[in-house]
Structure 1
Amino acid sequence: MDLSLLLFWLKKLIAAFALPPLLPLLPIALGLALLGRFPRLGRIMAWGGVALGLLLVLPASVGWMVAQVEDPTPLPPTAAVNADAIVILGAGRREYAPEFGGETVNRLALERLRYGARLARTTGLPVLVSGGGSASETPEAVLMKAVLEEDFGITVRWTEGRSRDTRENARYSSAILNATGMRRILLVTHAAHMSRAQAEFEAAGLAVQPAPTGWLGDYDERAHDVFLLGGLPSQNSAYAGWFAVHEALGRLAYRLSR
């Protein structure tokens, strides 16, 4: 049995219970189950779960959570001068995509690829895509390469298809780049994921210039975005809350495992 694969799926299982929507549902369910024998404790837990669920979807609270994990600074125009390559991290796949002949990348990965393609076009730097999958799956990097080359007209020089998480993205990508003598990269990932990704790539020996994309918050002082200033919960605020909690837990897990 592959211990690393077992630990990977165990991590996925724990994450499912530690993230919305299950996260607030667990205390609600447990509280309701305790009402008969421990009514006071049961009510506290159930209403606590309701309160937690609201905090995870209300735009005001979600906006604060997002601000704690996102890198608000876009790539400076002159930052690419000293870079050797562009590294674009995968974010998942869409398995049922008959219009594309089978499967393709999901919308998160597509956001990263779109920005990475723009950087490649404007800088002329070579591109590495990073993302793996299970033994029975097409590596995500192969799907990413197809999107860049077929849809954006960008040639991919390196395809890293072994990694299953951010730490492995960094480990295997650095091995490829170090073999070519390249150490300075523009790292493309979501703004909320950038801090953790940058730390892992720097720990792997690369000099990283963050190139974030896909912000969930609005950091323009002139903006009056209902997402940050208040308003009713929506599918957008619920998704942003999930992403913020996911990233906060990812950072904690990586700190504990060092």
Structure 2
Amino acid sequence: MNTVLREILFLLQPLCLVWLLLTAWLLRMLWKRLWRWSLLPVCAWVILTVVTCTALPSWLMAGLESQHELPTMEEMAGADAIICLGGGVEPSFKEPTGMHLMRGADRLATALSMAISGVAPVLVLGGAGYEHEGQYVSEADAVFANLQNYPRLSFEQISLGVCANTRDEALKVADLVEKRGWKKVLLVTSANHMPRAWATFKKAGVPVLPIPCHYMSSFHRVGEVDWLHMPYAGSLELFDSWFHEWIGTRLYQWRGWM
């Protein structure tokens, strides 16, 4: 009974309901042989079906996430700093920790665990700024403010402040590399973002070793891959993330940033 109820509730979700209604409308138009009028609905149905009912978004995402492998401990040895890109935390005035963990929080968890384990003596955090009452609150500053509750942490903490984008983070880190003479830094970011981030940091002159995390593709997660399924909002979100990186890469290449 619980399984049946769960399936019914799933079918009533907005995305699934829209897909069912569009399917019914399209079938009715085809039944009445309204070929010309059904062209646009067919296109809409195909796009929606491919993006939300198939494993194509996961397959595309896996292509990005597979470009960089996690290095060995021997390869990471002697690193001067850990660079964690933003996107995993949002400053919060309500959360007890002062920060709200977002979809990319694996970035922060990975970087913190490495810093606490002594992989490198310095942790550098990037991230965006969030406007509040006319002022910008830094994502990195919110994290480090919370870390002050743990005084026994031995690693140095550096905030990049408010960063406009990945290139801005790369340029600020490049300045630190020049001033401190760093020879090897570990770059932590989502696996799908790593190809663009790694190329951008290399172009800026930063000697980076990629540390990918936050794998989103179902091909890189526990469980079987469902090639066909009912409309799922997670597939739409996955495609959006892949498309964001695809557009971002083309834009960075056009601007000469990577």
State the TM bucket, normalised to the shorter chain.
Answer: 0.7 to 0.9
1:45 aligns with one of 40, 45, 56 = 40
Which residue in the other structure is 2:126 paired with? 130
- The Cα offsets for residues 121-169 of structure 1, whole Å up to 9 and x where unpaired, read as 2214311111232662211111232345547964442110131111111
Residue 202 of structure 1, CA deviation: 0.6
How many residues were matched structurally?
222
Alpha-carbon distance between aligned partners in 2 of 1:129 and 1:68, rounded to the nearest angstrom: 27
In structure 2, C-alpha distance between the alignment counterparts of 1:112 and 1:153, rounded to whole Å: 22
Q: 1:147 to 1:115 in 2, by over 3 A?
A: farther
Distance change in 2, residues 1:181/1:104 (3 Å): same
Flag the 1:252–1:129 CA change in 2: closer, same or farther, 3 A: same
- Contact persistence 1:87–1:187 (CA under 8 A): yes
For the Cα contact (< 8 Å) 1:75–1:212, is it kept in 2? no
1:158-169 superposed matches below 5 A: 158-169=158-169
Mapped contact 1:89–1:169 kept (Cα < 8 A): yes
Query: Taking structure 1 as reference, are residues 189 and 42 closer, same or farther at Cα in structure 2, changes over 3 Å only?
Result: farther
Quote the residue 1:181 is aligned against. 181
Long gaps (5+) in structure 1: 1-20, 22-27, 29-38
Is residue 74–residue 211 contact of structure 1 (8 Å, CA) maintained in 2?
yes
Amino acid at match of 1:241: F
Q: Which runs of 5+ in 2 are unaligned?
A: 1-14, 16-21, 23-33
Distance in 2 between the 1:190 and 1:153 partners?
A: 28
Look up the match of 1:140: 139
Q: Deviations over 1:155-196 (max 9, x none)?
A: 442110131111111011211232111141110000000000
Structure 2 residue 211 is the aligned partner of structure 1 residue 211: yes
TM-score norm. by structure 2 comes to 0.73
Q: Which has the larger radius of gyration?
A: 2
Assess, with a 3 A threshold, how the Cα gap between structure 1 residues 120 and 152 changes in structure 2: closer, same or farther: farther
Q: 2:58 & 2:196 partners in 1: Cα distance?
A: 19
Which stretch has the larger CA shift, 173-182 or 205-214?
173-182
In structure 2, the CA distance between the partners of 1:150 and 1:248, relative to structure 1 (3 Å rule), is: farther
Let me know the Cα RMSD of the aligned residues: 3.2
1:239 maps to amino acid:
E
| Seq. identity, % | 22
Q: Helix, strand or coil: the match of 2:172? A: helix
What is aligned with 1:242?
A: 240
Per the TM alignment, residue 58 of structure 1 is displaced from its structure 2 partner at its CA by: 2.8
2 CA distance for matches of 1:161 and 1:41?
55
**SS of structure 2 residue aligned to 1:236:** helix
Tell me the CA shift for residue 248 of structure 1. 1.1
Q: Secondary structure at the match of 2:250?
A: helix
CA distance in 2, matches of 1:152, 1:52: 52
Asked if the contact 2:88/2:107 (under 8 Å) is kept, the reply is: no
1:194 is matched with which residue? 194
Of 246-255 and 140-149, the range deviating more from structure 2: 140-149
1:100 aligns with 2:96: yes
1:19-38 CA distance string (max 9 Å, x none) = xx9xxxxxx9xxxxxxxxxx
Residue by residue over 1:76-118, the C-alpha shift from the partner in whole angstroms, topping out at 9 and shown as x without a partner, is: 23221142110000006545551337x5243234221100011
What secondary structure sits across from 1:119 in the alignment? helix
* CA distance 1:144–1:241, shift in 2 (3 Å): same
The answer as to whether partners of 2:81 and 2:120 remain within 8 angstroms in 1 is: no
TM-score (norm 1): 0.73
Deviation at 1:224, TM superposition (A): 4.7
- Provide the C-alpha distance between the structure 1 equivalents of 2:214 and 2:152, rounded to a whole number of angstroms: 21
